[in-house]
Amino acid sequence: MLLNNKQIAIVGGGPGGLTLARLLQLKGANVKVYERDINADARVQGSPLDMHETSGWAALRKGNLIQEFKKNILQDADKKIIVNKRAEIIFSDHETEPAEDLNNEPSRPEISRGALRKILLESLQTETVVWDSHFVSMEKQNEGWLLHFKNGSSAYANLVIAAEGTHSKIRPYVTNIKAFYSGFTMVEINIDDAKKAIPDIYTLLNGGKIMAFGDGKCILGGQKGNGSLGFYVSFKPGENWVANSGLNFSDRTEMLAWFKKEYSGWGIIWHQLFERATMPVVPRPIYCMPLDQTWQALPNLTLLGDAAHVMPPFAGEGANTAMFDALELSECLTSGQHPTLKDAISFYEINMRNRAAIAARHSLENGELMHSECALDKMLTILNIK
């Protein structure tokens, strides 16, 4: 096997990185995951993920993690309602969408990010994850790399896989191609104990997801698996809106006033999002890698997930694509079909970039649709209910 007597460093302990570690360990590889978090509970995990059958679900199946996954499926989280800007229900599948059959493999089961992380972490060998390892830099050493971390420690690896997300510090060692601003910005809002804090909206969601459209803007929201709800206020400002807005994103009164102005004409029910939000709310300009990006493969370094192909979230492909990256990369490194590490990495990267370009294009198109003036009508047409 290409990985015999090789030390592998995966930088980043998200779904992609942890999935890769699991799959490589099943093949006997020597793997360490270097994660910036202090421990597994250091960060509140984001909105739930729906696992797609041919990507995220396929990776879990290969990792022999299906049964553990099924124990943590969020029932009804896949159900959705579509509303107009006044929060009037235009479409709901709560009555028509059957409950997930856990005896079979669900089509797009949902799980909280925290639960998925726990499943993946518990599947790894003891001390696989090296916590408090915030990557700073690395340098070539022998045939591999010497990695340096913010806490002053260093580690050597024959092969490094960057899985540390959108702002990857390892990506520049592979390519100088940078992401472009997609035209969309989202303001992330989290609300704890939502049943008590925003009972009207909590009841409206009924355990599932909500999508609201109007005036070229949208609001997306859903449960997070711990009694909290997460929402994204999404619109199309200029790339430098966050810096130029002058807003204090920790000031509830200021953010509510901004929302009332930016979303004027929307129902007052939405004001609850800012009135009850856990502050600060978080502005997120959305970026996307060029769809035609390419680079020359290296023999000891590669990328997966957002580090390789960050894209807008409007197709639900981010984590699924990262986990499928992990599946394909693990196969390339361990199948015996490639004569050298460089050949294996090159084969993986070509396929990965092609797949990611298709997903990113779909996501960009969805984003334009969802932020169009006639978004509500278009969504209803897509769902064949108009």
Residues of the binding site = 43, 50, 113, 306
Strand locations in 158-293 (E):
159-162, 180-191, 209-214, 217-223, 229-235, 282-288
Tokens of 111: 């799980």
**Other Cβ atoms closer than 10 A to 258:** 20
- Look up residue 146 and give its two tokens: 């010497």
Total count of residues recorded for the chain: 386
Please give the full DSSP string across 51-93, using - where no structure is assigned: PPTTTHHHHHHHTT-HHHHHTT--TTTT-EEEEETT--EEEE-
- Look up residue 1 and give its two tokens: 């096997």
Round to whole Å and give the CA distance between 249 and 187.
Answer: 9
Q: What is the CA radius of gyration of the chain?
A: 21
What count of other Cβ atoms lies within 10 Å of the Cβ of residue 95? Answer: 6
Question: CA–CA distance from 269 to each of 145, 146, 262, 273 (Å)?
Answer: 54, 54, 15, 8
Separation between Cα atoms, residue 143 and residue 211, nearest integer Å:
50
Structure tokens at 40: 């597994």
Which residues participate in the annotated binding site for FAD?
A: 50, 113, 306
Residue ranges of the annotated binding site for NADPH are 43
Greatest CA separation for the chain: 64
Q: Which two tokens mark 210? A: 């909500």
DSSP string, 254-294: HHHHHHHHHTTTS-GGGHHHHHSPPSSPEEEEEEE--TT--
Edge-first strand order for the sheet with 154-157 is 135-141, 144-149, 154-157
Between vectors from CA 49 to CA 72 and to CA 302, what angle results, nearest 5°?
115
Mutual angle of helices 15-26 and 113-122, in 10-degree steps: 20
